[in-house]
């Protein structure tokens, strides 16, 4: 986790409030619409819509627990309809009703706050701006895809002077049935951005190897799905996922943060938080106001 970032209050992320990339990336999971889950999230979570499912745990990886007293670890803009919610750290803040058993293992409390009813729409706009920023970064690194025979899909980072390596790949190449492994040679990169084009990704084979076996590299990796409407992950995934328009279904663990429109969560969402390159607050604000105009001046 980023120890240097002070926790943002819910007021800073309430509907209509100005958020920064640092605010957004404090969260392990942001779903701007509805979340259906029976799994755990290690870090902090925002659900803009309704939270449903049999049972779930939130804040499982947040230690030490006393550090999160008074911190919103789960924020829900809609209603909660579950059997059990286990809060391992921090508070639950909600705008709607709760039909669920609620247990606090970290000394937290429940707060009913009508102001967070609009948090989904506000954060959806932020995610679109972030995705536009990353989409505008020019690819400087190369990919070697299998050609006719099953083989690894190889990513070779060629970071710029700031340590930023940018890749561009189609969803069809990433999901090819020829892909046996997904291998990264990081070459000292301090940020790894992978822009994935295409409306649909069904990822059901291939293992992450090479530098992606390291948590230090997972936390600087962000997969940006600017165009995606539907993503299905049936294999273990490494790195953060930013897909502002997509419904995500996962059946295995994700090693990194997730920022999506809606989600059917059947695998855990793990830390680390994303710590790679972000737009400056000024650039981020321009993206929100003027779309790509601020982005194109970045590089």
Length of the chain: 299
- 5-27 pLDDT, tens digit per residue, is 345 555 445 444 567 898 999 99
Whose structure tokens read 């822009």?
A: 195
Distance (Å, whole) CA 40 – CA 45: 10
Output the CA–CA distances (angstroms, integers) from residue 43 to 1, 108, 116, 153, in the order listed.
Answer: 9, 15, 19, 30
C-beta separation of 33 from 261 below 8 A: yes
* pTM beyond cutoff 0.95: no
In this structure, of 48-52, 185-189, 261-265, 292-296, the range with the lowest mean pLDDT score is 292-296
Phi/psi region, residue 294 (left: phi>0; alpha: psi -120 to 50; beta: rest), is alpha
Give the β-pairing of 151-156 and 110-112: unpaired
C-beta separation of 250 from 235 below 8 A: no
Show Cβ contacts of residue 147 under 8 Å, excluding neighbours closer than 6 positions: none
| Per-residue exposure over 114-149, b if at least 16 CB sit within 10 Å of its own CB, e if not | eebbbbbebbbebbbbbbbbbbbbeebbeeeebeee
Show Cβ contacts of residue 207 under 8 Å, excluding neighbours closer than 6 positions: 180, 181, 182, 235, 236
Helix axis angle, 119-135 to 281-290, nearest 10°: 100
C-beta separation of 131 from 197 below 8 A: no
- 84-109 pLDDT, tens digit per residue, is 999 999 999 999 999 999 999 999 99
Can you tell me whether residue 237 is helix, strand or coil? strand
Distance (Å, whole) CA 127 – CA 249: 18
Residue 97: CB atoms within 10 Å: 12
Please compute the mean of the pLDDT values over residues 194-223 and round it to a whole number: 97
- Domain limits, the chain: 10-129, 136-277
Q: Is the pLDDT of residue 176 over 90?
A: yes
**Could you give phi then psi for residue 258, rounded to 5 degrees?**
-135, 135
**Could you give phi then psi for residue 250, rounded to 5 degrees?**
-125, 140
Phi/psi region, residue 90 (left: phi>0; alpha: psi -120 to 50; beta: rest), is left
Q: Is the pLDDT of residue 223 over 90?
A: yes
Q: Is the pLDDT of residue 269 over 60?
A: yes
Which pLDDT value is given to residue 85? 98
Can you tell me whether residue 44 is helix, strand or coil? coil
């Amino acid at each position: 986790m980023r120890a240097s970032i002070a926790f943002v209050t819910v007021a800073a992320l309430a509907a209509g409030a100005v958020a920064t990339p640092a605010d957004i990336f404090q969260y392990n999971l942001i779903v701007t619409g509805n979340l259906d889950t029976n799994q755990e999230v290690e870090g902090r979570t925002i659900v803009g819509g309704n939270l449903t499912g049999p049972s779930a745990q939130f804040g499982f990886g947040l230690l030490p627990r006393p550090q999160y007293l008074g911190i919103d670890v789960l924020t829900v803009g809609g209603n909660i309809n579950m059997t059990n919610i286990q809060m391992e750290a921090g508070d639950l803040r909600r705008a709607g009703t709760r039909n669920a058993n609620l247990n606090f293992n970290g000394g937290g409390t429940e707060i009913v706050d009508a102001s967070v009813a609009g948090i989904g729409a506000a954060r959806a706009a932020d995610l679109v701006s972030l995705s536009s920023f990353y989409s505008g970064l020019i690819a400087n690194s190369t990919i070697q895809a299998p050609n006719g025979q099953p083989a690894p899909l190889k990513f070779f980072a060629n970071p710029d002077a700031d340590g930023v390596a940018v890749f561009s790949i189609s969803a069809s190449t990433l999901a090819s049935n020829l892909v046996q492994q997904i291998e990264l040679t990081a070459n000292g990169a301090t940020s790894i951005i992978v822009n994935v084009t295409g409306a649909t990704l069904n990822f059901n084979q291939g293992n992450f190897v090479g530098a992606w076996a390291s948590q230090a590299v997972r936390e600087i990796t962000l997969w940006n799905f600017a165009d995606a409407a539907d993503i299905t992950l049936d294999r273990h995934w490494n790195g953060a996922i930013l897909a502002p328009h997509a419904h995500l279904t996962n059946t295995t663990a994700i090693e990194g943060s997730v920022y999506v429109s809606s989600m059917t969560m059947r695998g855990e969402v793990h830390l680390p938080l994303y710590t790679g390159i972000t737009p400056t607050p000024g650039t981020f604000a321009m993206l929100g106001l003027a779309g790509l105009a601020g982005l194109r001046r970045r590089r």
